[in-house]
Structure 1
Amino acid sequence: MDLDGVVAALRAEAVRANERRLLTLAGDRNRGLAAAADAVAAYAHGSTSDRTGAENPDVTVLTTRDNVGWAERIVPRDASRLLGTTRDVVVLDAHAGFSANVLGRVVGAVDGGGLLVLVTPPLDGWPDERTDDDERLAVPPFTVDDVTGHFRRRLVETLRSHPGVAVVDVDAETVERDGLTGAARARPRENVTVPDAAAFPRTAYETCLTADQADALSALERLRGRDVAVIVEADRGRGKSAAAGLAAGSLAADGRDVLVTAPAYRNAAEVFERARVLLDALGTLADADDEAHVLSAAGGGTVRFLAPETAVDLPGDPDAVIVDEAAALPVRRLEALLDAPATAFVTTVHGYEGTGRGFDVRFRERLAESDRTATDVRLDDPIRYAAGDPVEVWAFRALLLDARPAVDPVVEDASPSEATYRALDAEALRADEHLLRETFGLLVLAHYRTEPDDLARLLDAPNLTCRALRVDGHVVAVALLAREGGLPESLREEMYEGGRVRGNMLPDVLTSQLRDVEAGAPVGYRVLRIATHHARRSEGFGSRLLAACHDEFDDAVDWFGVGYGATPPLVRFWARNGYRTVHCSTTRNETSGEYSAIMLRPTSPAGERLHDRHARRFCARMRDGLCDALRDLDPDVAREILRATAHSPSPALADHEWRVVAAAAFGPGLYDAAPGAFRDLALTHLTDRRVDLSARAERLLVHKPLQAHAWERVAADLDYVSTRQCMRALGAAYRPLVDCYGTDAATEERRRYE
């Protein structure tokens, strides 16, 4: 085996084309890592006619082994440390600590002319191996033996067929594929020109590496105005964060205050670095506080970072806001950031960080309804390697980073009645690439943070079941169900005592948080995700798909359930399909930014018992929780989740309390004389709905009696002209409730004022 020759040829072609190449070293782990060290040495000693500095290449090895002395070592779980950095060679040890997410993170760290090296088990047997890494897919009561190998089987197929991928068998010492593509020499980059009427400094444009980047910077000049939104989209490695940083630095140099936010500071580190370098080049950098993440310019301008949960309040009234990796943030937070004078949303179109398509579907509708003037710009040209790089194309294919639903025209005439219900087992998905891409593309749209590991779960996790509606062979709606419960007593006791049991979200919450030791015994299906093609939304496909799932599985499980970030439309959707609220979280969901609702649809006597006891407890918790941890819950969300519960507590008011309520409704009585009575009666109405009240009146019941806000805030939030008018409106809201639920004492009190 001439490994040196293989590496030299790969390197020479990669350098010539300004592309990357992938080298797979398959076989025994020790032999594979030794071969990787030889490959790095061969890369370092290759020809330098086209590339300088390669004698001392930047090399990182991701492995759990601690005896790697020939390169920088990172354990795979810390692969995110490579974000925003570049290496000549990255070696990924796939024998331990390997995952789809790790692979997705390391691919982008390899520079043009560089080499990605995968050290794998023998390719023929790799899909059937079961390692400690498969344990994360073995959701109890399933074991690692139940995990399939479809993801790795598909990955192996791509390694053996994709251009630019070399495969070496280190056990047999043979070269299966040389990985050469015959690529031509890379074409010179297009010169970057400075716009004639550029408002940003010339230095900022001269820093741009591609014409795309300069165009994005020009579009970001609109942040100097008001009531504007700029959307910058690109795949990874196109320089979108750098362009945002140049814009932030330019604005700060002009004396403006720029607030930057992102899911985490590491996502925005490139923005700050580019802004810092530009301000320094302009001679206007006054101070850089790395700990506080604040850059100060001589003219008073600033670039400062705040986490999204703080940034949404726009503290300090910034002149402009830049949101990096916007697709990874919930719409609720993105919408709040539109209150700034000018906002830029910078997002990845395809990538493990999140998906721009979810951003497109959810947020763009809100943006269109706003009063913002929106500008779109997209960056296509890679910065670190040539367009069409085969390693990038391979990663997109292997990890389905570019999976998308069927194109609009093929489903535009579809109706729920003509759709065909179909089970999509993992074997069928792996065997049909078109079906897999359409299915996964829809699942991507159903969640803010779809990642490569989700593809592995779809193909390999034994607890997941996928169902779809298809029209003319195209997927129009898809549901991903997760089997939960059916846990042995020992696991239920462990969960009750605070232990975490993977993949059993609903039993976990009901057991560990709500103290129901038997909650993990019944078996159920949690609807993990459900999505309808964006061209056919709100036309009944989701309900039709759920009904078909119910028909198929009702006799096999005790319950169906769902947990999600609650919004009024979503709560109504699940309620229409027979799901009833049993819990509302007391903290906001990190993914959606909303409080999470848990709803159950019982299908057996055991499921009924589980549902009924938690429905009763839910109502009791909400009576007091709304004036405590849930005081900032949106009143419309509160109305809907209470409406969607199957239990309604009777108002157990004493005669004196009925007289206070009736007097406040019909006479001179005071709310403060018995606030608990008003709270109980409000809760009864919102869960029972025997009385028809306006939405505004119900918001008032939530905001004042249940959440106990001050009269001044209630009046302001609900647009009453004064607190007196607000008080009168509350009394009026209680009149039909007194008539409906009141006792003789209430009736007698009312008659005093007729």
Structure 2
Amino acid sequence: MSVAALAAALRDAARESNHRRLLVLAGAREAGIDAAFDAVEGAEVPDDEVTIVTARDGFRFDRVAPEHARELLGTTRTAVICDAHESFSPNVVGRLVGTVDGGGLFVLLTPPLEEWPDRPGDFEASLAVPPSGVDDVGGRFRRRLVETLRTHPGVAIVDVDAGTVVRRPDDSGVSAAASRSSTAITPSSQSSRRFPQAAYEACLTTDQRRAVRALEALAGPDGTGESDGDIATPQAVVVEADRGRGKSSAAGLAAGSLAAAGSDVLVTAPDRRNAADVFARARELLDALGALDEPGEGNEGANADGTLVATGGGRVRFSPPAEAADLPEAPDAVIVDEAAALPVRLLSAFLDADAVAFVTTVHGYEGAGRGFSVRFRDDLTEAPHVVTDVSMREPIRYAPGDPVETWAFRALLLDARPPVDEAVADAEPSSVAYRRLTPDELAADESLLREVFGLLVLAHYRTEPDDLARLLDAPNLRVRALEYDGHVVSVALLAREGGLDAETRSAMYEGERVRGNMLPDVFTSQLRDEAAGVPVGYRVVRIATHHAARSRGLGSRLLDEIRAEFDGAADYLGVGYGATPELCSFWERNGFETVHLSTTRNESSGEYSALMLDPLSEAGRKLRDRHARWFRGRAPGILADQLRDADPDVVRAALASCPPPEEPPTLSDREWRVVVGAAAGPGQYATAPDAFRRLAFAALVGAPAGGDSGGEEVGLTPREERLLVRKVLQTRPWGDVADELGFVSTRQCMRAFGSACGTLVDRYGAGRDVVRRERARFEE
């Protein structure tokens, strides 16, 4: 059978079931490209319905470079050709599979399948983290991918070098097409529907109509989302679906409906491109309703910033997650798209809105969503909102049971889950076993791999298919786990860093990025320590414990085992993460100490990053000590400038986790008189703010008192510590500090500051003659 005839047969079968088919053209690249042209012609796919994703130029089809494959998310094509000979990665497959329409073909050009696992490409080269080379990168992911191609239903394979069909698709495991209902959901009465009929007519599936109906909870009784008495009880709607179910379109139809009724709708997502479908559907609905305000020149129906404005004064606008969490301009309703790709702390901030929708992917390229469903649900349950849940299962582009979708889920582990709760619910630190999991063991045991990867997905709010390949093939990564009764209950992913030669360290110092060496890179390029790349360390990239066994010390037990294993074999353990008070405290309890706080926020999480070290050797201790010393030296300056808006509890926790100096703070006699005056008399902070800054900083990092100045504990309350952070270290206005910390007046806040100063004087100045004399004057 020729390639053209095979492609025609595949497309006939695909159209009959409203599924897709996967055609693998294995062999030399040029032969594969020629065969792809034959396949498109044989399947009678018009050129304008074909996209080829390749690094090469010169095709009659629409061409997209692999690094721009993300741009195809949300689009629909009859045939997509993916050139895996160059610039291929698991992410590319994850982005492309969902763009093929029902009845279409996904064509994959590969090297000869028996050779592919041993022929590393650009992606594999990116896994060659110094000092490793590309020859150290494994081929396990590609081997696994080849195995799925050879065994999964709906996949045909052609050897283009030999001109033979190696495998015709086995469709015995492919379910028949499900009939798609076109019957609209009918509420109890037409008048009870809050969104316009056009919103429901625009839906493509029953599931989508159910989702739009559920999103009516964001509107008041008159169909608006305005919160001035219309929404008596806060409302939250959670829309969960696999990729390709039309959840973003449903959110867009809801946004357009709300805007048409005069509501101000704020949309956020990890990236503006993630929200493209929301804005596209909202615009189409407003246009269909005749409610889209006249655009400005070149705006195509929107303001210059992309905001959609309705004739009745409503609008649909976008803000990045960290900005949107502050609910700028008090929106009437908030829609959080791809919510699973945001950290739980940020998601919880949106519960300050009276009307909020969380729209998220359960499985798919955007993230598995278990962190959302497990962790955020606790916050959602405690919130005052009435929660409406809706799940969408019916695909938009193809019928249920599509073999290409199930192949992608299997090949990329998009549906990986940790063990069921019952399997690990009784796990305790005393009943688990430590295990060093090798890449070969993971590749050979599908159940083990799924449990490990499922837990790692929980550990981070954004996990991509590339992470699976890194787990299996990156030479710098190590996996360590705790097992209970044969199941993984806690897992850590470690990255080997450092051990770099002089040439690499010099290049890094001069600004060159060195992959996979995050801590040495920051220490060298940002903090100007060229020797930081000499020690060998293991950075904890992710650590996760099964939610059914959390808060029992399993994470700490795992870190203890890791420390024992690498003690003497490495110089330090390290970690870098978006700083929250809870995480800072966790890492401090486990022996890690702060050596750096970033001065810019992560765009998605809105958090500043903390870097911490746990030395394992003398070289590690020297690295820790000098960076802790430098951090203590620069922290007061950056807290008053770049970190002026950092959460005071994050600052408190980060400073408390920093190794303290060996010496107490130094103040002149005049400065001590000012501080004592502020504590017990008419002295003022503004007279010598730097003296107060040195004392406050010393107290928060646990500097010794020296002499006979008191015990080990400073004695400040948490509120007093926050006061010192906000006023003294971050130099915020008195009125703002008083409001934030809940003082009834600025005067009360200043009195509390005087009391805190008294505690500082007790700690650091009690043994000094100048302090005794000054205090005696006020006590007379």
TM interval, short-chain normalised: over 0.9
Q: Where does 1:66-215 land on structure 2 (aligned, <5 Å)?
A: 66-69=57-60, 71-181=61-171, 186-190=177-181, 191-195=183-187, 196=189, 197-215=192-210
Deviation, structure 1 residue 713: 0.7
2:276 & 2:569 partners in 1: Cα distance? Answer: 50
2:667 maps to amino acid = L
Give the secondary-structure state (helix, strand or coil) at the position aligned to 1:449. coil
- For residue 332 of structure 1, the aligned residue among 345, 366, 372 is 345
**Match among 703, 724, 739 for residue 701 of structure 1:** 724
Decide whether aligned partners of structure 1 residues 184 and 621 sit closer, same or farther in structure 2, where only a CA change above 3 A counts. closer
- Is 1:364 the counterpart of 2:377? The answer is yes
User: Out of 704, 718, 728, which is 2:741 matched to?
Assistant: 718
Match of 2:715 among 681, 689, 692: 692
> Match for 2:457: what amino acid?
V
For the residue of structure 2 that corresponds to 1:599, the secondary structure is: strand
State which drifts further: 744-753 or 513-522. Answer: 744-753
Is 2:671–2:691's contact at 8 Å kept on the other side of the alignment? yes
Cα drift, residue 296 of structure 1: 2.0
SS across alignment from 2:636 = helix
Q: Name the stretch that deviates more: 4-13 or 652-661.
A: 4-13
Structure 2 Cα separation of the partners of residues 511 and 106 of structure 1? 38
| Alpha-carbon separation, structure 2, partners of 1:589 and 1:262 | 14
Q: Does 1:463 align with 2:476?
A: yes
The Cα of 1:290 is off from its aligned counterpart by 5.5
Q: CA deviation at 1:187?
A: 3.9
Question: Does 2:739 correspond to 1:749?
Answer: no
Deviation at 1:323, TM superposition (A): 1.2
**Distance in structure 2 (CA, Å) of the matches to 1:740 and 1:333:** 38
Q: Residue 87 of structure 2 contacts residue 121 of structure 2 at CA under 8 Å; is this kept in 1?
A: no
2:212 corresponds to which residue? 217
Determine helix, strand or coil for the equivalent of 1:725.
helix
Deviation at 1:732, TM superposition (A): 0.7
- Is 1:531 aligned to 2:522, yes or no? no
* Map of 2:297 onto structure 1: none
Asked if 2 retains the 8 angstrom alpha-carbon contact of 1:448 and 1:592, the reply is no
1:660 aligns with 2:674: yes
How does 1:295-306 map onto structure 2 within 5 Å? 295-306=308-319
Other structure's SS at 2:377 match: helix
Give the deviation of 1:515 after TM superposition.
Answer: 0.8
Provide, for residues 90-130 of structure 1, a one-character-per-residue CA deviation record: whole Å limited to 9, x for no partner.
Answer: 00000001000001000000000000000000111100112
Alignment partner, residue 434 of structure 1: 447
Call closer, same or farther: CA 1:724–1:185 in 2, change over 3 Å: closer
The answer to whether the aligner puts 1:22 opposite 2:29 as a matched pair is: no
Letter in 2 for 1:712: G
Which of 622, 636, 643 aligns to 2:649? It is: 636
Does residue 674 (structure 1) correspond to residue 664 (structure 2)? The answer is no
Aligned 8 A contact 1:25 1:32 in 2: yes
Q: Contact 1:404–1:442 (CA<8 Å) still a contact in 2?
A: yes
For structure 1, which segment, 138-147 or 170-179, has the greater mean C-alpha deviation from structure 2 after superposition? 170-179
Cα distance in structure 2, aligned partners of 1:378 and 1:529: 29
SS of the residue 2:352 aligns to: coil
Q: Secondary structure at the match of 1:740?
A: helix
Alpha-carbon displacement from aligned partner over 1:605-641 (angstroms, at most 9, x marks no partner):
1111111011111111112211111111111111111
Per-residue CA deviation, residues 178-208 of structure 1 (Å, 9 max, x unaligned), is 1141557634312233323322111211221
Matched, 1:39 2:34: no
Q: How far did residue 511 of structure 1 move?
A: 0.7
Stretch deviating more after TM superposition (257-266 or 35-44): 257-266
Structure 1 residues 185 and 446: CA distance shift in structure 2, 3 A: closer
Shift, 1:392, TM fit: 0.2
Which one-letter code corresponds to 1:687 in the other structure?
Answer: V
Q: Distance in 2 between matches of 1:403 and 1:185?
A: 25
Give the drift of 1:165.
Answer: 0.6
Distance between the aligned counterparts of 1:42 and 1:424, measured in 2? Answer: 47
Matched with 1:48 is none
Please tell me the residue identity of whatever aligns with 2:271: A
* Stretch moving more, 427-436 or 363-372: 363-372
Runs of 4+ in 1 over 4 A off after TM superposition: 54-57, 182-185
Inter-partner Cα distance in structure 2 for 1:379 and 1:318: 27
C-alpha separation in 2, matches of 1:185 and 1:161: 19
Asked if 1 retains the 8 angstrom alpha-carbon contact of 2:656 and 2:701, the reply is: yes
Aligned to 2:242: 235
Tell me the SS of whatever aligns to 1:355: coil
**Structure 1 stretch displaced more, 600-609 or 55-64:** 55-64
The worse-fitting range, judged by mean Cα deviation, of 326-335 and 569-578 is: 326-335
**Which secondary structure state, in structure 2, belongs to the residue aligned with residue 371 of structure 1?**
coil
Q: Give the counterpart letter for 1:720 in structure 2.
A: F
Matched residue SS, 2:153: coil
Q: After the TM superposition, which residues 49-68 of structure 1 pair with which residues of structure 2 at under 5 Å, given as runs?
A: 54-55=45-46, 58-68=49-59
CA distance in 1 between counterparts of 2:411 and 2:304 reads 39
| Post-superposition offset of 1:364 | 2.0
Is this contact kept in 2: 1:332–1:593, CA < 8 A?
A: no
* Secondary structure of the structure 2 residue equivalent to 1:518: helix
Distance across 2 between alignment mates of 1:24 and 1:143? 30
Q: 1:730 aligns with which of 743, 753, 776?
A: 753
**Which TM-score applies when normalising by structure 2?**
0.94
Contact 1:13 1:180 in 2 (8 A): no
For structure 2, the residue ranges without an aligned partner over 5 or more in a row are 221-230, 295-300, 703-711
Alpha-carbon displacement from aligned partner over 1:501-537 (angstroms, at most 9, x marks no partner): 0010000111111111100000000000000001111
The answer on 1:11 being equivalent to 2:6 is: no
Q: 1:50 — aligned with what?
A: none
Q: Is 1:381 aligned with 2:373? A: no
Aligned partners of 2:116 and 2:142 also within 8 Å: yes
SS in 1 for 2:531: coil
The Cα RMSD (Å) is 1.4
Instruction: Letter of the 2:11 partner, please give it.
Output: R
Residue of structure 2 in register with 1:411 after alignment: 424
2:298 corresponds to = none
Q: Which runs of 5+ in 1 are unaligned?
A: 45-53
Question: Is this contact kept in 2: 1:93–1:120, CA < 8 A?
Answer: yes
Question: SS state of the match for residue 286, structure 1?
Answer: coil
In 2: Cα distance, 1:397 partner to 1:539 partner: 33
Distance in 1 of aligned mates of 2:729 and 2:311: 51
Contact 2:270 2:604 (8 Å CA) reproduced:
no
CA distance in 1, matches of 2:533, 2:176: 61
Alpha-carbon distance in 2 for matches of 1:79, 1:29: 20
- Give the CA deviation at 1:560: 0.5
Question: Does residue 573 of structure 1 match 2:586?
Answer: yes
Question: How far apart, in 1, do the equivalents of 2:479 and 2:605 lie?
Answer: 23
Aligned to 2:360: 347
In structure 2, what is the Cα distance between the partners aligned to 1:219 and 1:4?
A: 46
